Amino acid sequence: MFGGPPRERADAARNRSLLLAAAEGLFAERGIDHVSMDDIARAAGVGKGTLYRRFGDKSGLGIAILDDRERDLQDAILGGPPPLGPGASPAARLHAFADAYLSYLDRNLDLVVMSETASPGARYRTGVYAGWLWHVQLLLSAGGWERPRVLAACLLGALSADLHRHLRAEGTPHREVEAALHDLIDRLIGER
């Protein structure tokens, strides 16, 4: 039987839930940079080895925590109301995606930065990034724009968490970032 006996699977699921809840609570209380893997294992009442085997490092924990939060945005893109969901023009959907992703970044900035910058190129190796790239690329293709994959990567570059953390640290107001991003989208894709 795959995955071991049912009791082992239940224990693994319980440990995963305990670890994620402990990590979320400690990250919210102290900030990501002030929480160690030892702190998380201790708070969850789980062995350090279990934590490392399951997630590898804090970045792996961050990705797991973000998984549910990203799923809500993915669901809205795939089946929510327009303009974020199907039924609007590709350009309108791109603008709606930019707004939704900026809101997502605002709520989860430290976790997203950690998951995207854990190692060189970490952002581009995640399934989440591949999903966003695929979505934007499909919208660009549907709109008839040339070089949709490269253009999609450029648009997503403007949505990197590290860039937004930098802009926030500089004191750039959210509404200015949002307006600039919409200007960028308009200039890159033009009116179709």
pLDDT digits (tens, 9 = 90+) for 7-64: 668 888 899 999 999 999 999 899 888 999 999 999 999 999 999 999 988 888 888 8
Answer whether residue 2 shows pLDDT above 70: no
Indicate the DSSP class of residue 160. -
83 and 171 together in one domain: yes
pLDDT digits 0-9 by tens, 74-123: 999 999 999 999 999 999 999 999 999 999 999 899 999 998 888 888 88
36 and 111 together in one domain: no
State the pLDDT confidence band at 4, using cuts at 50, 70 and 90: low
Residue 1 sits in which domain range? Answer: 1-56
pTM, full prediction: 0.81
DSSP annotation string for 83-129:
TTSTTS-HHHHHHHHHHHHHHHHHHHHHHHHHHHHSSTTHHHHSHHH
Q: What is the pLDDT of residue 115?
A: 86
42 and 68 together in one domain: no
87 and 151 together in one domain: yes
Q: What is the pLDDT of residue 1?
A: 47
Domain count, the chain: 2
CATH for 3: 1.10.10.60
Give the separation between CA 90 and CA 22, rounded to whole angstroms. Answer: 40
Take residue 15 and report the two structure tokens written for it: 């440990």
